[in-house]
Structures are given as structure tokens and as C-alpha cells.
Amino acid sequence: MSLYVIGDLHLSFGAEKPMDIFAGWENHTQRLEKAWRDLIQPEDTIVLAGDSSWGMNMDEALPDFQWINDLPGARKILLKGNHDYWWGTMAKMRKYFDEHGLTSLELLHNNHYAYGEYGICGTRGWVNMEPDEPANAKVNAREAQRLEVSLKSAEDAGLKPLAFLHYPPIYGSSCNFEVLEVLWRHPVADCWYGHVHGRSLHSHAINGERDGIRYHLISSDFVQFVPQKIF
């Protein structure tokens, strides 16, 4: 049983949003599916770190959910990205998954999932720019609180927390200190994040240790649409 992660699938089987108009995204679903089937076994877990579907609502995203559900892996744990417009309340999403037989899909939101001695924790996060702007400050405080709840729930269960975010908490010289302070308060050794696309932007992303935490960029185009093994 292994644990994998990848972010930013940007699937659009039910929406008119082709990704192959962007450099490096040609045939990305075929490349992703091949790598996924080559690597992931039926008993494995994979975390999908946001922006999984371009669907504007659950029905429009359904073909994307079905595509993910039919791939190998016992659990596919989804967290919210900035383009996951289909995201709603936990109760509504879980009910929809149940009604449509999406048995391998789970949702990471104010909770955690156990994986051996570890707790899979996380939230969307928020942008690092203009943190004092009132609208940004409000959303950022809410996301930091959601991360706090998720990490604490794992610790209360006696698990070592692993942190997964959509937005990078550090990008270039910009830091989201509200999110970072939550990570620092807890025994988080590793944090995986997505959102960052394109070679010019990848070059500013942090991949490595900073202040005691190892950061890993796992957006699909950066990892060449290959799920990354954690354990």
C-alpha cells in the first residue's frame, strides 16, 4: 500500500476547457492516465491537491469524477483548488458521490485521513499577495483556521501530520505567514502544494527545506503528469 500525490489535473470531460492549448499540456489526460495506471495499485491512496475539474457544478464535473473513480487506487482524496467551482458543502458533495457510485473519492476539508502512523491533512490555502486587503485577509484567516482544524484532528488521533495545500505558502520572496504560522505550530515535516504552472513560474517555486519544513511542488505540468510517491 503506497501513498501518492499530484495536483491540478484540470480535467474537462464535461466542460469546454481544453488544456492542450497551453504549452506542455498536450494530451495531458492520456499521459496522466498512463502514468497513473503504470504506478498506482488497487490498494494505494492518492491525494489530489486541488483544481481537479473545470466543471462549474457537480453535474458538469461528474464525467471527471467518474474518470478519477475508475482509475486504480482505493482512495482518491480531493482538496479544493481555486478553480474547483463545483465544490459545495461536505454533506452535499458526499451525498452526490454516494448517489453516483463514486466509492473511491474522499474530501479533505476540516478533517484528516489516517494513513498508517500519518494523518493526511490540508486545505486550499490562499494567495500571498496583498494580505492586508480586507477580502484577502478574511479568506486567508478562514483557510488558516481550516488548516489548523485539520492538523489538530490528526494530532488528537495520535498521527503525524502531512500537509497538503493547493496554493503555495511560500512563492519567491512572498510568504503567507498566517498559513506558515499554522504549519510551524504543528509537527509538520513536509508540505505538498500545486497551483503553479509554466516553466517561468516553476522557477520561483520552493522545492526543499525552509525553516524546518520540506516543500514539494506537485502541480501536474511540473511533475510531467506523473503522480509522485510519498511512501
What contacts 104, CB < 8 A, 6 or more positions away? 68, 69, 73, 74, 75, 76
How many angstroms separate the Cα of 14 from the Cα of each of 9, 46, 59, 114, 204? Answer: 14, 22, 8, 32, 33
Cell of residue 97, nine digits: 458521490
N- to C-terminal Cα distance for the chain?
9
Using alpha carbons, list the distances in angstroms from residue 65 to 37, 74, 166. 16, 14, 18
| pLDDT, tens only, 181-224 | 999 999 999 999 999 999 889 999 999 999 999 999 999 999 99
**pLDDT tens by residue, 102-134:** 999 999 999 999 999 999 999 999 987 666 677
In three-state secondary structure terms, 139 is helix
Per-residue confidence (pLDDT) for residue 16, from 0 to 100? 83
Q: Measured between alpha carbons, how far is 104 from 213 in angstroms, rounded to an integer?
A: 30
pLDDT tens, 31-54? Answer: 999 999 999 999 999 999 999 999
CA distance 231 to 214: 15
Candidates 3.60.21.10, 2.40.160.40, 3.20.10.10, 3.30.43.10; CATH matching 3-229 = 3.60.21.10
pLDDT in tens, 56-77: 999 999 999 999 999 999 999 9
Average pLDDT for 163-187: 95
